[in-house]
């Protein structure tokens, strides 16, 4: 046995704590509103189907990859998996895609901070009437800049902020489901008639084009791999943590969506459900129990803390991932340069510049609600493309099984592993690609074409810079050789 494993003074993380830590970074209460608006009550059946054929396999695939690469000197996670199974170039591309796909979410989280503040201050949904698109964009960018400047301060309290904010958000979600069930028991009228017709899924182009948001809402199981080395017995405990993650996720998305059907008529949903739906829900819940707006204010405060913690995590991650794994070979030196405090200032500037690009692009939309929805839908494109790489790494691992030792094996049959891993990859990739099709505007209109062009331009810019960086790095090397 390795000496480190029996050192009594070493602090280990328990697998339940790990599962909670990953859960709060994977999904929040507000995530169930996005697919609910797109698919109505039929999303419940879709969640059940996805839980069985996608979410559980995804978590257990991450469990096998996580228990295979447990070296403490490696960063762990998706980039390490790709680098070890497919080589340095794949490791770089994974790092880049992982970083690029965080940027729309970074802007989206900053937007959510403003929305939470508006509900805390105004107590209603009048933000769009009181604030112009320009002001909304400037405030969003100011919040991003503030967190970049103060990143060191926030990173010191990162774990505490994440645990407190995430745990509070999970408790608010459980409270919402529990009080809704209790409300039904005492005679609260349901806004939706719960019949098979309401639940029946419609497998259409719209279904697959909006499923990218379901994948986005539940992706991130691979994040747990970065904590594998902190477990006492990673090979046994990490799979348990992934099972717990899948179960908690399933509970929230299924029962949370059912609870939404009680308060919202699934056939006539508000246009701003994605932006304000959670606040509406807690307002209606509080009114039904005779508590006024107390629950809404509790949620708004929780949401603000949760989003600030998420913002700190994203800024911290984006400042590190560009220099992770094999980046030194593929990135120009100026981007990796650090100041006296060891902070990669130029990567901060680059991150802020691309966020500003997204904000300027979104500013061409008609109102704040459209901006909020578009950024969410953009996450439903770029995030699943990142998730698809998890399954690429799994297929590569199983193809080279003789070279690696896994502490946990998901599907012992190689043919079965190829079938499940291949299915998950194809499904994820197709949903991400169909996500380019705008959903909140009518097909064929000027608005539809405008958002389609915005989606294409955004993805080309975010992922396209990944092609440019190695060229700039080669130019740096060529200059050094000439000197």
Output the average pLDDT for the chain: 85
User: Which pLDDT does position 69 carry in this prediction?
Assistant: 82
Share of the chain above pLDDT 90, in %: 36
The model's confidence at residue 14, banded by pLDDT at 50, 70 and 90, is: confident
Residues 157-184, mean pLDDT to the nearest whole number: 82
Q: Is the pLDDT of residue 164 over 60?
A: yes
CB 274 within 8 A of CB 372: yes
User: Which pLDDT does position 78 carry in this prediction?
Assistant: 84
Q: Is the pLDDT of residue 2 over 60?
A: no
Residue whose C-alpha is closest to residue 114's, from 316, 375, 319 = 375
Q: Is the pLDDT of residue 5 over 60?
A: no
CA distance 453 to 63: 38
pLDDT digits (tens, 9 = 90+) for 115-140: 999 999 999 999 988 999 989 999 99
User: Which pLDDT does position 3 carry in this prediction?
Assistant: 40
**Both tokens assigned to 278:** 């959670």
Residue whose C-alpha is closest to residue 452's, from 434, 466, 429 = 434
Residue with tokens 């257990």: 60
User: Which pLDDT does position 398 carry in this prediction?
Assistant: 94
Q: Is the pLDDT of residue 323 over 60?
A: no
Residues 35-45, mean pLDDT to the nearest whole number: 87
CB 97 within 8 A of CB 389: yes
User: Which pLDDT does position 1 carry in this prediction?
Assistant: 36
Q: Which residues fall within 8 angstroms of residue 359, CB to CB, at 6 or more apart?
A: 107, 137, 140, 141
User: Which pLDDT does position 418 carry in this prediction?
Assistant: 96
User: Which pLDDT does position 280 carry in this prediction?
Assistant: 94
pLDDT digits (tens, 9 = 90+) for 364-423: 999 999 999 999 899 999 999 999 999 999 999 999 988 888 888 889 899 999 999 999
Could you tell me which residue, 95 or 227, shows the higher pLDDT? Answer: 95
Residue with tokens 């980039």: 79
User: Which pLDDT does position 326 carry in this prediction?
Assistant: 53
User: Which pLDDT does position 386 carry in this prediction?
Assistant: 92
User: Which pLDDT does position 420 carry in this prediction?
Assistant: 96
> Is 288 in a helix, a strand, or coil?
helix
Could you tell me which residue, 21 or 48, shows the higher pLDDT? Answer: 48
CB 238 within 8 A of CB 67: yes
The model's confidence at residue 321, banded by pLDDT at 50, 70 and 90, is: low
User: Which pLDDT does position 295 carry in this prediction?
Assistant: 94
Residues 178-206, mean pLDDT to the nearest whole number: 86
Residues 420-436, mean pLDDT to the nearest whole number: 94
CA distance 362 to 172: 31
pLDDT digits (tens, 9 = 90+) for 134-162: 899 999 999 988 887 776 666 556 667 76
Share of the chain above pLDDT 70, in %: 90
**Which phi and psi angles does 173 have, rounded to 5°?**
-65, -45
Q: Which residues fall within 8 angstroms of residue 375, CB to CB, at 6 or more apart?
A: 104, 107, 108, 111, 358, 362
CB 316 within 8 A of CB 132: no
User: Which pLDDT does position 4 carry in this prediction?
Assistant: 41
Give exposure, 431-460, as e/b (b: 16+ Cβ within 10 Å).
bbbbbbbbbbbeeeeeebebbeebbeebbe
User: Which pLDDT does position 66 carry in this prediction?
Assistant: 84
Out of 27-41, 349-363, 397-411, least confident range: 27-41
pLDDT digits (tens, 9 = 90+) for 195-236: 888 888 777 777 778 888 888 888 877 777 767 777 888 888
**Both tokens assigned to 256:** 């949370």
């Amino acid at each position: 046995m390795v000496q480190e494993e029996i050192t009594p003074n070493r602090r280990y993380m328990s697998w339940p704590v790990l599962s909670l830590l990953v859960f709060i970074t994977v999904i929040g209460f507000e995530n169930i509103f996005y697919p609910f608006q797109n698919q109505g009550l039929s999303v419940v059946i879709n969640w059940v189907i996805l839980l069985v054929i996608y979410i559980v396999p995804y978590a257990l695939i991450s469990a096998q990859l996580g228990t295979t690469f447990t070296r403490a000197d490696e960063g762990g996670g998706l980039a390490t998996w790709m680098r070890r199974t497919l080589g340095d170039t794949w490791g770089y591309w994974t790092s880049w895609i992982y970083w690029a796909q965080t940027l729309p979410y970074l802007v989206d989280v900053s937007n959510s901070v403003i929305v939470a503040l508006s509900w805390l201050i105004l107590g209603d949904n009048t933000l769009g009437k009181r604030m112009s698109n320009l002001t909304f964009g400037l405030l969003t960018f100011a919040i991003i800049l503030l967190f970049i400047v103060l990143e060191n301060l926030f990173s010191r309290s990162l774990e505490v902020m994440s645990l407190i904010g995430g745990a509070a958000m999970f408790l608010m979600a459980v409270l919402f489901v529990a009080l809704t069930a209790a409300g039904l028991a005492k005679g609260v009228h349901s806004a939706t008639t719960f019949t098979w017709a309401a639940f029946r899924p419609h497998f259409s182009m719209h279904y697959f084009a909006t499923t990218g948001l379901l994948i986005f809402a539940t992706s991130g199981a691979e994040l747990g791999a970065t904590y594998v080395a902190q477990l006492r017995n990673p090979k046994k405990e990490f799979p348990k943590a992934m099972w717990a993650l899948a179960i908690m996720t399933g509970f929230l998305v299924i029962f949370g969506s059912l609870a939404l059907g009680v308060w919202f008529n699934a056939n006539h949903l508000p246009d701003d459900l994605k932006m304000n739906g959670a606040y509406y829900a807690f307002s209606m819940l509080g009114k039904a129990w005779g508590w006024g707006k107390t629950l809404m204010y509790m949620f708004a405060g929780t949401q603000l803390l949760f989003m600030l913690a998420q913002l700190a995590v994203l800024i911290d991650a984006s400042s590190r991932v560009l220099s992770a794994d094999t980046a030194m070979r593929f990135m120009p030196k100026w981007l990796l340069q650090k100041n006296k405090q060891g902070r990669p200032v130029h990567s901060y500037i680059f991150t802020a510049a691309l966020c500003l690009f997204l904000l300027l692009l979104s500013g061409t939309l008609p109102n704040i609600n459209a901006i909020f929805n578009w950024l969410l839908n953009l996450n439903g494109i770029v995030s699943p493309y990142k998730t698809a790489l998890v399954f690429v790494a799994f297929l590569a691992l199983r193809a080279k099984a003789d070279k690696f030792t896994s502490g946990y094996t998901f599907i012992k049959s190689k043919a079965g592993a190829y079938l499940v891993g291949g299915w998950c990859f194809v499904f994820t990739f197709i949903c991400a690609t169909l996500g380019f099709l705008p959903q909140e505007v009518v097909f064929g209109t000027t608005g539809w074409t405008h958002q389609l062009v915005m989606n294409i331009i955004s993805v080309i810019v975010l992922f396209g810079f990944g092609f440019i960086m190695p060229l700039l790095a080669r130019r740096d090397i060529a200059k050094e050789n000439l000197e």
